[in-house]
Amino acid sequence: MQILAGVGAAAQIVVDYLVVAGGGGAGSRGGGGGAGGLRSTVTATGGGGTLETALTLTSGVSYTVTVGAGGAAGTGGSGGVGIVECTSGSNSVFSSVTSLGGGYGGGRAGSAPNETGGNGGSGGGGGVTITTTAGQGTSGQGYAGGLGNNNSGGYSSGGGGGAGAVGNNAGGAGVGGAGGAGIATSITGSSVTYAGGGGGSAENGNGGAGGSGGGGAGGNSAQNGTSGTANRGGGGGGGSFGTPQYYYGGAGGSGVVILRYADTFTITIGAGLTGTESAASGGYKRATITAGTGNVSWS
Protein backbone atom coordinates (compact mmCIF):
# COMPACT_ATOMS: atom_id res chain seq x y z
CA MET A 1 0.00 0.00 0.00
CA GLN A 2 1.12 3.54 -0.81
CA ILE A 3 0.24 6.68 1.19
CA LEU A 4 -1.00 9.38 -1.18
CA ALA A 5 0.39 12.91 -0.84
CA GLY A 6 -1.86 15.83 -0.02
CA VAL A 7 -4.43 13.88 1.99
CA GLY A 8 -5.57 15.10 5.40
CA ALA A 9 -6.09 13.08 8.55
CA ALA A 10 -6.68 9.41 7.78
CA ALA A 11 -10.12 7.95 8.46
CA GLN A 12 -11.33 4.37 8.68
CA ILE A 13 -13.74 3.25 5.95
CA VAL A 14 -15.87 0.10 6.01
CA VAL A 15 -16.12 -1.23 2.44
CA ASP A 16 -18.53 -3.93 1.34
CA TYR A 17 -17.57 -5.71 -1.85
CA LEU A 18 -18.65 -7.97 -4.67
CA VAL A 19 -15.67 -9.50 -6.48
CA VAL A 20 -16.54 -11.66 -9.51
CA ALA A 21 -13.83 -13.25 -11.65
CA GLY A 22 -13.93 -13.90 -15.38
CA GLY A 23 -15.92 -16.92 -16.54
CA GLY A 24 -14.30 -19.86 -18.28
CA GLY A 25 -14.38 -20.30 -22.04
CA ALA A 26 -16.06 -23.29 -23.67
CA GLY A 27 -14.70 -25.67 -26.24
CA SER A 28 -15.71 -27.05 -29.60
CA ARG A 29 -17.97 -30.06 -29.05
CA GLY A 30 -17.48 -29.10 -25.43
CA GLY A 31 -18.76 -28.63 -21.93
CA GLY A 32 -19.89 -25.28 -20.61
CA GLY A 33 -17.35 -22.97 -19.02
CA GLY A 34 -17.43 -22.54 -15.26
CA ALA A 35 -18.53 -19.22 -13.83
CA GLY A 36 -15.99 -16.90 -12.29
CA GLY A 37 -15.57 -17.19 -8.54
CA LEU A 38 -17.88 -14.90 -6.56
CA ARG A 39 -17.08 -13.43 -3.15
CA SER A 40 -19.50 -10.98 -1.53
CA THR A 41 -20.32 -9.29 1.77
CA VAL A 42 -23.91 -8.43 0.76
CA THR A 43 -26.91 -10.82 0.44
CA ALA A 44 -24.98 -14.01 -0.36
CA THR A 45 -21.61 -15.32 -1.48
CA GLY A 46 -20.64 -18.15 -3.84
CA GLY A 47 -20.07 -21.86 -3.38
CA GLY A 48 -22.34 -22.20 -0.37
CA GLY A 49 -19.96 -20.18 1.77
CA THR A 50 -20.71 -17.97 4.75
CA LEU A 51 -21.30 -14.32 3.86
CA GLU A 52 -17.95 -12.53 3.89
CA THR A 53 -16.94 -9.68 6.21
CA ALA A 54 -16.50 -6.11 4.96
CA LEU A 55 -12.97 -4.71 4.87
CA THR A 56 -11.97 -1.82 7.14
CA LEU A 57 -9.66 0.38 5.08
CA THR A 58 -7.90 3.72 5.53
CA SER A 59 -8.47 6.93 3.60
CA GLY A 60 -5.51 8.19 1.62
CA VAL A 61 -4.18 4.68 1.04
CA SER A 62 -4.28 3.00 -2.38
CA TYR A 63 -5.65 -0.51 -2.79
CA THR A 64 -5.25 -2.80 -5.79
CA VAL A 65 -8.17 -3.73 -8.03
CA THR A 66 -8.08 -6.15 -10.96
CA VAL A 67 -11.09 -7.14 -13.07
CA GLY A 68 -10.57 -10.59 -14.59
CA ALA A 69 -11.14 -11.16 -18.29
CA GLY A 70 -13.28 -14.02 -19.54
CA GLY A 71 -11.58 -17.12 -20.90
CA ALA A 72 -11.11 -17.52 -24.64
CA ALA A 73 -13.50 -19.63 -26.69
CA GLY A 74 -12.38 -22.87 -28.29
CA THR A 75 -12.49 -22.87 -32.09
CA GLY A 76 -13.62 -25.60 -34.44
CA GLY A 77 -12.56 -26.87 -37.81
CA SER A 78 -13.60 -29.16 -40.64
CA GLY A 79 -13.21 -32.80 -39.65
CA GLY A 80 -11.83 -31.72 -36.29
CA VAL A 81 -8.74 -30.17 -37.90
CA GLY A 82 -7.61 -26.84 -36.48
CA ILE A 83 -9.20 -27.23 -33.06
CA VAL A 84 -7.93 -24.58 -30.60
CA GLU A 85 -8.60 -25.22 -26.94
CA CYS A 86 -10.56 -22.80 -24.77
CA THR A 87 -9.03 -21.27 -21.65
CA SER A 88 -10.03 -20.53 -18.06
CA GLY A 89 -11.12 -17.07 -16.92
CA SER A 90 -8.79 -14.68 -15.12
CA ASN A 91 -8.86 -13.79 -11.42
CA SER A 92 -10.43 -10.62 -10.02
CA VAL A 93 -8.86 -8.88 -7.02
CA PHE A 94 -9.78 -6.20 -4.50
CA SER A 95 -7.14 -5.54 -1.83
CA SER A 96 -6.74 -8.86 0.06
CA VAL A 97 -9.73 -10.52 -1.68
CA THR A 98 -9.16 -12.75 -4.73
CA SER A 99 -11.86 -14.53 -6.73
CA LEU A 100 -10.61 -17.28 -9.04
CA GLY A 101 -11.36 -17.43 -12.75
CA GLY A 102 -13.88 -20.00 -13.94
CA GLY A 103 -12.59 -23.32 -15.28
CA TYR A 104 -12.61 -24.04 -19.04
CA GLY A 105 -15.18 -26.43 -20.50
CA GLY A 106 -13.96 -29.89 -21.44
CA GLY A 107 -13.37 -30.49 -25.15
CA ARG A 108 -14.30 -33.26 -27.55
CA ALA A 109 -13.42 -36.88 -26.87
CA GLY A 110 -10.54 -38.60 -28.59
CA SER A 111 -8.04 -35.85 -29.37
CA ALA A 112 -8.60 -32.78 -27.20
CA PRO A 113 -6.07 -32.50 -24.36
CA ASN A 114 -8.69 -30.86 -22.14
CA GLU A 115 -11.53 -33.40 -22.22
CA THR A 116 -11.96 -32.87 -18.47
CA GLY A 117 -13.39 -29.52 -17.45
CA GLY A 118 -10.94 -27.18 -15.75
CA ASN A 119 -10.94 -26.35 -12.06
CA GLY A 120 -11.55 -22.77 -10.96
CA GLY A 121 -13.88 -20.48 -9.05
CA SER A 122 -16.54 -22.73 -10.56
CA GLY A 123 -15.59 -25.84 -12.53
CA GLY A 124 -16.02 -26.37 -16.25
CA GLY A 125 -18.39 -29.02 -17.62
CA GLY A 126 -17.03 -32.34 -18.84
CA GLY A 127 -16.68 -33.08 -22.55
CA VAL A 128 -18.27 -35.86 -24.57
CA THR A 129 -16.69 -38.85 -22.86
CA ILE A 130 -17.44 -41.09 -19.89
CA THR A 131 -13.80 -41.54 -18.93
CA THR A 132 -13.13 -38.07 -17.54
CA THR A 133 -14.62 -35.84 -14.89
CA ALA A 134 -15.90 -32.30 -14.65
CA GLY A 135 -13.87 -29.44 -13.21
CA GLN A 136 -14.12 -28.65 -9.51
CA GLY A 137 -15.19 -25.36 -7.97
CA THR A 138 -13.66 -23.56 -4.98
CA SER A 139 -15.34 -23.52 -1.58
CA GLY A 140 -16.85 -20.11 -0.85
CA GLN A 141 -16.72 -19.12 -4.54
CA GLY A 142 -18.53 -21.61 -6.79
CA TYR A 143 -19.49 -25.17 -7.63
CA ALA A 144 -18.32 -28.04 -9.85
CA GLY A 145 -19.35 -28.63 -13.45
CA GLY A 146 -21.51 -31.49 -14.75
CA LEU A 147 -20.49 -34.67 -16.58
CA GLY A 148 -20.65 -35.30 -20.32
CA ASN A 149 -22.13 -38.30 -22.13
CA ASN A 150 -20.82 -40.28 -25.11
CA ASN A 151 -24.08 -42.01 -26.00
CA SER A 152 -23.88 -43.09 -29.65
CA GLY A 153 -27.30 -41.55 -30.32
CA GLY A 154 -25.87 -38.08 -29.88
CA TYR A 155 -22.87 -36.90 -27.90
CA SER A 156 -23.53 -34.26 -25.26
CA SER A 157 -21.53 -32.30 -22.69
CA GLY A 158 -21.98 -31.17 -19.11
CA GLY A 159 -22.90 -27.68 -17.96
CA GLY A 160 -20.40 -25.46 -16.21
CA GLY A 161 -20.70 -24.85 -12.50
CA GLY A 162 -22.21 -21.62 -11.19
CA ALA A 163 -21.64 -19.60 -8.05
CA GLY A 164 -24.96 -20.88 -6.69
CA ALA A 165 -25.28 -24.45 -8.01
CA VAL A 166 -23.49 -27.41 -9.58
CA GLY A 167 -23.58 -27.64 -13.38
CA ASN A 168 -26.01 -30.24 -14.69
CA ASN A 169 -24.87 -33.54 -16.17
CA ALA A 170 -25.65 -34.16 -19.83
CA GLY A 171 -29.17 -35.56 -20.03
CA GLY A 172 -28.44 -38.45 -22.36
CA ALA A 173 -28.27 -38.73 -26.14
CA GLY A 174 -28.23 -35.25 -27.62
CA VAL A 175 -29.16 -33.34 -24.44
CA GLY A 176 -26.54 -30.93 -23.11
CA GLY A 177 -26.38 -30.15 -19.40
CA ALA A 178 -27.60 -26.75 -18.23
CA GLY A 179 -25.17 -24.41 -16.50
CA GLY A 180 -25.35 -23.99 -12.75
CA ALA A 181 -27.23 -21.00 -11.38
CA GLY A 182 -25.48 -17.87 -10.21
CA ILE A 183 -25.93 -15.79 -7.06
CA ALA A 184 -28.12 -12.69 -6.63
CA THR A 185 -26.80 -9.79 -4.56
CA SER A 186 -28.25 -6.35 -3.80
CA ILE A 187 -24.94 -4.52 -3.35
CA THR A 188 -25.93 -2.00 -6.06
CA GLY A 189 -29.26 -1.29 -4.36
CA SER A 190 -31.12 -3.64 -6.71
CA SER A 191 -30.96 -7.43 -6.88
CA VAL A 192 -28.71 -8.58 -9.75
CA THR A 193 -27.58 -12.15 -10.46
CA TYR A 194 -23.95 -12.93 -11.35
CA ALA A 195 -21.71 -15.91 -12.16
CA GLY A 196 -23.89 -18.46 -13.94
CA GLY A 197 -22.30 -21.49 -15.60
CA GLY A 198 -22.29 -22.08 -19.35
CA GLY A 199 -24.50 -24.75 -20.92
CA GLY A 200 -23.07 -27.91 -22.47
CA SER A 201 -23.33 -28.62 -26.19
CA ALA A 202 -25.28 -31.36 -27.94
CA GLU A 203 -24.95 -33.33 -31.18
CA ASN A 204 -28.26 -34.16 -32.88
CA GLY A 205 -30.16 -32.45 -30.09
CA ASN A 206 -30.44 -29.48 -27.78
CA GLY A 207 -27.67 -27.67 -25.96
CA GLY A 208 -28.04 -26.84 -22.29
CA ALA A 209 -29.35 -23.49 -21.12
CA GLY A 210 -26.92 -21.03 -19.55
CA GLY A 211 -27.16 -20.61 -15.80
CA SER A 212 -28.88 -17.50 -14.44
CA GLY A 213 -26.33 -14.76 -13.98
CA GLY A 214 -24.85 -14.47 -17.45
CA GLY A 215 -24.05 -18.08 -18.42
CA GLY A 216 -23.99 -18.67 -22.19
CA ALA A 217 -26.19 -21.35 -23.76
CA GLY A 218 -24.67 -24.48 -25.26
CA GLY A 219 -24.97 -24.96 -29.00
CA ASN A 220 -27.71 -27.14 -30.46
CA SER A 221 -26.77 -29.53 -33.24
CA ALA A 222 -24.49 -27.72 -35.74
CA GLN A 223 -24.40 -24.45 -33.79
CA ASN A 224 -21.80 -22.37 -31.98
CA GLY A 225 -22.06 -21.83 -28.25
CA THR A 226 -23.06 -18.47 -26.77
CA SER A 227 -20.57 -16.34 -24.86
CA GLY A 228 -21.04 -15.45 -21.21
CA THR A 229 -22.31 -11.97 -20.38
CA ALA A 230 -19.70 -9.25 -19.89
CA ASN A 231 -19.27 -8.05 -16.28
CA ARG A 232 -21.37 -10.92 -14.93
CA GLY A 233 -18.63 -13.55 -14.89
CA GLY A 234 -20.75 -16.13 -16.73
CA GLY A 235 -19.21 -19.21 -18.37
CA GLY A 236 -19.32 -19.67 -22.13
CA GLY A 237 -21.61 -22.22 -23.77
CA GLY A 238 -20.11 -25.27 -25.47
CA GLY A 239 -19.93 -25.51 -29.26
CA SER A 240 -21.68 -28.39 -31.03
CA PHE A 241 -20.75 -30.87 -33.74
CA GLY A 242 -22.29 -31.51 -37.14
CA THR A 243 -20.41 -33.65 -39.67
CA PRO A 244 -17.83 -32.69 -40.69
CA GLN A 245 -17.72 -29.41 -38.76
CA TYR A 246 -16.78 -28.76 -35.13
CA TYR A 247 -18.47 -25.54 -34.03
CA TYR A 248 -16.99 -22.82 -31.85
CA GLY A 249 -17.57 -22.58 -28.13
CA GLY A 250 -18.47 -19.32 -26.40
CA ALA A 251 -16.03 -17.07 -24.56
CA GLY A 252 -16.38 -16.49 -20.84
CA GLY A 253 -17.88 -13.23 -19.61
CA SER A 254 -15.59 -10.72 -17.91
CA GLY A 255 -15.81 -10.17 -14.17
CA VAL A 256 -16.64 -7.09 -12.12
CA VAL A 257 -15.70 -5.45 -8.81
CA ILE A 258 -18.40 -3.44 -6.99
CA LEU A 259 -17.59 -1.52 -3.79
CA ARG A 260 -20.09 -0.01 -1.34
CA TYR A 261 -19.14 2.56 1.32
CA ALA A 262 -20.56 5.44 3.35
CA ASP A 263 -21.63 8.43 1.27
CA THR A 264 -19.38 10.74 3.30
CA PHE A 265 -16.44 9.40 1.26
CA THR A 266 -15.46 9.80 -2.39
CA ILE A 267 -13.45 7.23 -4.32
CA THR A 268 -10.61 7.94 -6.74
CA ILE A 269 -10.43 5.30 -9.48
CA GLY A 270 -6.87 5.27 -10.73
CA ALA A 271 -5.24 4.93 -14.13
CA GLY A 272 -5.66 1.55 -15.76
CA LEU A 273 -9.17 0.99 -14.40
CA THR A 274 -12.56 1.63 -16.01
CA GLY A 275 -15.26 2.46 -13.49
CA THR A 276 -17.81 4.90 -12.13
CA GLU A 277 -19.05 6.09 -8.74
CA SER A 278 -22.79 6.35 -8.14
CA ALA A 279 -24.65 9.21 -6.50
CA ALA A 280 -25.39 8.79 -2.82
CA SER A 281 -28.39 6.59 -2.06
CA GLY A 282 -29.59 5.09 1.21
CA GLY A 283 -26.48 6.34 3.02
CA TYR A 284 -24.06 4.73 0.54
CA LYS A 285 -22.13 5.35 -2.65
CA ARG A 286 -21.12 2.47 -4.93
CA ALA A 287 -18.17 2.18 -7.29
CA THR A 288 -18.56 -0.26 -10.18
CA ILE A 289 -15.27 -1.22 -11.83
CA THR A 290 -15.65 -3.07 -15.10
CA ALA A 291 -12.15 -3.51 -16.57
CA GLY A 292 -8.44 -3.17 -16.00
CA THR A 293 -5.84 -3.24 -13.25
CA GLY A 294 -4.90 -0.32 -11.02
CA ASN A 295 -5.48 1.31 -7.65
CA VAL A 296 -8.37 2.94 -5.83
CA SER A 297 -8.36 5.23 -2.79
CA TRP A 298 -10.84 7.25 -0.74
CA SER A 299 -10.98 10.76 0.64
For the chain, the average pLDDT equals 90
- pLDDT average, residue stretch 224-232: 97
User: Which residues, listed in sequence order, are joined to residue 44 by a DSSP beta bridge?
Assistant: none
Using the predicted structure, report yes or no on whether residue 4 has a pLDDT greater than 50.
Answer: no
- pLDDT average, residue stretch 34-62: 97
- pLDDT average, residue stretch 42-56: 97
Using the predicted structure, report yes or no on whether residue 248 has a pLDDT greater than 50.
Answer: yes
- pLDDT average, residue stretch 233-260: 89
- Of the two residues 19 and 241, the one the predictor is more confident about is 19
- pLDDT average, residue stretch 148-170: 88
- Of the two residues 73 and 174, the one the predictor is more confident about is 73
Q: Assign 150 a pLDDT band (cuts: 50, 70, 90).
A: confident
- Of the two residues 42 and 174, the one the predictor is more confident about is 42
Q: What integer pLDDT is reported at residue 1 of this predicted model?
A: 31
Q: What integer pLDDT is reported at residue 174 of this predicted model?
A: 80
Using the predicted structure, report yes or no on whether residue 80 has a pLDDT greater than 60.
Answer: no
Q: Assign 156 a pLDDT band (cuts: 50, 70, 90).
A: confident
Q: What integer pLDDT is reported at residue 173 of this predicted model?
A: 73
- pLDDT average, residue stretch 5-33: 86
Q: Assign 244 a pLDDT band (cuts: 50, 70, 90).
A: low
- Of the two residues 289 and 83, the one the predictor is more confident about is 289
- pLDDT average, residue stretch 133-147: 95
pTM above 0.75, yes or no: yes
